[in-house]
Homo-oligomer: A and B are copies of this chain.
Amino acid sequence: MTKKIDVVKNVLDANDEVALENRKLMQQYGCLSVNIISAPGSGKTTLLEKTIVGLGGAKSAVIVGDLQTARDAERVADVAAVVQINTEGGCHLSAGQVAAALEKLDIRNAALDYIFIENVGNMVCPSGFDLGEHYRVAMLSTPEGHDKVAKYNTMFQPADVILLNKIDLAEVLEFDSSCIRDDLSKINTRAPLIELSAKTGEGMDAWLAWLKNAKAKLGSSK
């Protein structure tokens, strides 16, 4: 058992070293990066399509992690540079995979403003791996139920911003966002909760404002 724990610790340490390099590199070239973690089907790809268009003239890139298929990458390729990572069964992205993607994006010359990392759809494993992002985004969608913050606290606790997507379905689903707020008040009071619908556009302004503000802060620290 000790042997297993040691091996896991080494893997995590190695990941963290690469994550540090990723963060330095993105900082140096003024790219704000966010790592978006959610369950499968909560709407990460639709969110990104609408976000990148909503950011107007900014130059964005997307790093998409998926077990199989290039379906998500194809969907965002019209609006951003995209690198698809097929994890071939792996349940999360690693910093090394992101480092390789940054090379493919030619980060030193591409003059990117934003890098969006769409993690593998999974509320558990991606939370354990720093990819070098500046901010971590945890997203829940209303059909998943209002009990998820307490159940998946390892995902929501370290998040810098929390998105509640598909609020256009809240009424038909009898979704109780007060339960979300109560649970968040116990584990994470620093991250804002932004309720939105990537599909209808409701609430997207607040999310875009959050991103622009984060980008502005990054710029001023250079």
Contact = CB atoms under 8 A, between A and B. Distances in A.
Interface of A: 3-4, 7, 11, 39-42, 66-69, 71, 89, 91, 120-125, 141, 143-145, 147-148, 150-154, 166, 169, 172
A179 to B, nearest CB: 10
5 contacts: A40-B145, A40-B148, A66-B151, A91-B125, A143-B143
Contact of A40 (B4, B11, B125, B151): B151
A147 B7 contact: no
A69 B172 CA distance: 26
A89 B154 contact: yes
Contact of A124 (B125, B150, B151): B125
Contact of A121 (B11, B89, B123, B169): B123
A72 to B, nearest CB: 8
Nearest to A3: B7
- Each complex incorporates copies of this chain amounting to 2
B148 A41 contact: yes
A91 B71 CA distance: 25
Chain A interface mostly helix, strand, loop or mixed?
loop
Given A40-B123, A91-B124, A143-B169, A152 B67 contact: yes
A50 to B, nearest CB: 15
B153 A68 contact: yes
A74 to B, nearest CB: 10
A75 to B, nearest CB: 9
A41 B71 contact: no
A169 B69 CA distance: 26
A69 B151 contact: yes
A41 B144 contact: yes
Contact of A151 (B7, B67, B150, B172): B67
B124 A39 contact: no
A32 B186 CA distance: 40
B121 A39 contact: yes
Contacts of A69: 147, 150-151
